[in-house]
Amino acid sequence: MRIGCRLSYRLTQPTPLIAMLNVHYSRFGDLERADYLVTQPSVPLESYRDGFGNWCTRMVAPAGDFVLSTDGIFRDTGLPDPKAPYARQQAVQDLPSETLVYLLGSRYCDTDLLSEEAWRLFENTAPGWARVQAICDFVHAAVSFDYMQASATRTASETLAERQGVCRDFAHLAIAFCRCMNIPARYCTGYLSEFGQPEPHAPDDFAAWMEVYLDGQWWVFDPRNNKRRTGRILVARGRDAADVPLTQIFGPGTLSDFEVWTRDVHKEKGGPASGSTI
């Protein structure tokens, strides 16, 4: 898979910026060509790992037009997300300590407001994989995807009330329901190809999904698409979207252009500009 992005900004003053755009270290073994972060104009870069293990790059962008881009090649099995229908839900007292943070409420996953509704909806479902799938089924059916209704402040409870949103809202609501049911769940963002999907394909974009902890390991669930997909490559994970912004700008600025591409290198004829532009 050839994957990458190009984000263009218009800045009115020199602006500190943190980018989280490189593929997660868990996929380094699949690397064919590194997705190095490149800036135009070139500026000094300093990289570090955050508290969740995500790779972050900090810089000071100059005033004017500024571009961040990556372009890498990663091997992928071409197989759909793994599935384990008999994976068990573990009792809270048996969970590893490092998973407990993913049972707690967070900025966008307001479990305190959703706990009663979660138990009303899912108390009678079978614990484990079946319960998580029931949550995904509910969220997928209850929420309408509408890119024009994206909101940077919408919480899980607001998504349930408004019944609309984008992929991050689907993920936040499903994560909050899982946590209410004592299932550790964390937010993921990254690339999701359209390989194997009916045409016409939606424009390429970054995607959001979740991972839940069942039977001693983390498993991918995607309440937005509600199916096992191929060509999913993780960039970052955290408690919710507040932990994994693709870019964090510390000052005024405007996103003037945005491209994402996920392509099969064996079929690719053009360059990365064949991705989406919005």
| Residue 269: predicted pLDDT | 58
Nearest-angstrom CA–CA distance, 275 and 69:
13
Nearest-angstrom CA–CA distance, 60 and 15:
5
| Residue 16: predicted pLDDT | 98
Model confidence at 277, pLDDT cuts 50, 70, 90, reads: very low
Check pLDDT > 80 for residue 201.
Answer: no
| Residue 203: predicted pLDDT | 77
Q: Rounded to two decimals, what is the model's pTM?
A: 0.93
Condensed to tens digits (0 to 9), the pLDDT of residues 83-93 reads 999 999 999 99
Read off the tokens for 238: 């955290």
Nearest-angstrom CA–CA distance, 101 and 109:
12
The CATH class of the 2-77+245-268 domain is: mainly beta
Q: How do the domains of the chain map onto residue ranges?
A: 2-77+245-268, 92-243
Average pLDDT, the chain: 93
Comparing 249 with 205, the larger pLDDT belongs to 249
Lowest-confidence pick of 4-8, 26-30, 136-140? 26-30
Read off the tokens for 252: 């005024």
Condensed to tens digits (0 to 9), the pLDDT of residues 215-257 reads 999 999 999 999 999 999 999 999 999 999 999 999 999 999 9
Does CATH place domain 92-243 in 3.10.620.30? yes
Residue by residue, DSSP assigns 18-55 as: EE--SPPGGGGGGEEE----EEES----EEEE-TTS-E
Using CA atoms, how far residue 40 sits from 65, 133, 185, 261, in Å, is 8, 44, 37, 19
Condensed to tens digits (0 to 9), the pLDDT of residues 76-113 reads 998 999 999 999 999 999 999 999 999 999 999 999 99
